[in-house]
Each structure stands twice: as structure tokens, then as C-alpha cells.
Amino acid sequence: MKDGYTDPMSETPRPARKAARVIVVLLILVALIGVVGAVVLSRLLFTPVATAGPEVVLEIAPGQGLRRVSGELNRLGLVISARALEIFGRWQGYDTRLQAGRYLVSPTMTPVEILRKIVEGDAVFEEVVVTIPEGWSAAEIEDYLDLTGLFTREQFQEAVVMQDRYRDFEFLADLKDDTILDGYLFPDTYRILADSTPETVIRRMLTTFGQRVTPEQRQ
């Protein structure tokens, strides 16, 4: 064997080694992309948007499509990405299985849980739980009840002023018509029928006020 001679079988040719390194780097990048993608999907689809929040009445009309449902959930702040939920739903075949009805959903549910509830037809017509914190004004209650979907802010505004239908509450006897009922809407947690009217809810709050607040405390 001559000095300086290198056996061609003793080492991998440089182009082959370079190609191997490129393949390894690409595999690592693919793995990283997969991990990042899994984390993002978990955040968008399998994680609630909040750890607490009010129940919301979501109404699905007959024939309403997955894109519209996903968009409405996004508008209500119940999903981060309407597009991601729509793609997932189509992949699962949910787009042809949505059932009309009124559903109680909340931000503590994952987007996938909400979607599956609609697919399974787990609709309710009974009760919505609402909590009115102490110190809230009528305007703040309006905003909150509008968010729950029970009725609109305008509907509540029309009902939350003094009028003849509340004259049976003796503690309101001296109030003039159209006076906002601030101070009489007792803060508490109420279970309300999903098809209740604003007047029904207000009367519940006024009744609770009459039961919990003594005449001496009203002075």
C-alpha cells in the first residue's frame, strides 16, 4: 500500500454525509413543527377560553351551517379560532350532523365539547343560571343578561323602569313612572327559565329584595 493512499470504502463520501445531515435537520424541523402544531391545536380546540364565566344560551336554527355556528361561537367569545373549529368539525364529519335547538354553553367548556354538544342534540329549554353581583347598576345587569342571550339589552331597558305592572310592590309605591329600578334589583344567583321575559326576571329580583331587605334597611 502506498503512502497517502486512502481506501474509498473506509469513509463515507462527503456529499453523502452532507445529505445525511440535511435529512436529520429536516426530520428535526418536521418534529418541531408537529409539536408546535399539536400545542396550537390543543390551545384552539381542546382548552376552554376561561376558567369561569356565565352560561350562554346558544340558538342553532334549522339548516344552520358549521361555518356560521363556528363564527357565532367566536363572536360570543367561546372559541379563539372559528376557522380551526370549522376545519376540525368538517374533518370529523360534524358539518352534516348539527342539530337545531337552544343550548346552554359556557367559556369553561372546550370548543370541541361545545361542538359535540350541538352534534349530539343536547339542547335544553329549562334554566339558565345567572349571578348578579352586589353593586351592579341596571345598565351593568343589562349588559350581562344581553351576553347570556336570554334577551337583548333593549328589551331589558324597556322593562327595568317603573311602570304600572310593578305597583304591587309596596316599596316602589313612591317611585315615579319611568324611574330606573336601580337599588331594587337584588344581587343574587338566580335560576331562570330560558324562555323568560325581562319582566319575569325583574319581578324575581324585586321579590327577593322585598324578602331580604327589611323596611328599616330601606330607609
* Phi (first) and psi of residue 212, to 5 degrees: -95, -25
Predicted local distance difference test score (pLDDT) of residue 32? 67
Given the candidates 3.40.190.10, 3.30.499.10, 3.30.1490.480, 3.40.630.40, the CATH classification of the domain at 56-120 is: 3.30.1490.480
Calculate the average pLDDT of the chain.
85
User: Between 14-45 and 82-92, two packed helices, what is the crossing angle to 10 degrees?
Assistant: 100
In the structure grid, which three cell numbers stand for residue 25, read together?
A: 435537520
Is residue 40 over pLDDT 90?
no
Which residue ranges does the chain devote to CATH 3.30.1490.480?
56-120
pLDDT at 23: 76
Contacts 24+ apart (CB under 8 A), 95-102: 95/65, 95/66, 98/60, 98/64, 98/65, 98/66, 98/69, 99/60, 99/123, 100/60, 100/61, 100/62, 100/63, 100/64, 101/59, 101/60, 102/57, 102/58, 102/59, 102/60, 102/194
pLDDT band at 104 (very low <50, low <70, confident <90, very high): confident
Mean predicted confidence (pLDDT) in 62-69? 89
The predicted structure's pLDDT at residue 72: 93
Averaged pLDDT, 25-31: 72
Residue 31: predicted pLDDT: 66
The pLDDT tens digits for 129-185 are 889 999 999 999 999 998 888 889 999 999 999 999 999 999 999 999 999 999 999
pLDDT of residue 217: 86
Measured CA distances, 167 to 127, 149, 163, 173 (Å): 27, 28, 7, 6
Residue 3 has pLDDT above 70, yes or no: no
Task: Report the candidate in 46, 69, 52, 41 with the shortest Cα–Cα distance to residue 106.
Answer: 52
Q: What's the grid cell of residue 177? A: 313612572
Top-confidence range, 15-24, 87-96, 119-128, 143-152? 87-96
Look at residue 72 and give its three-state secondary structure. Answer: helix
What's the pLDDT at 101? 82
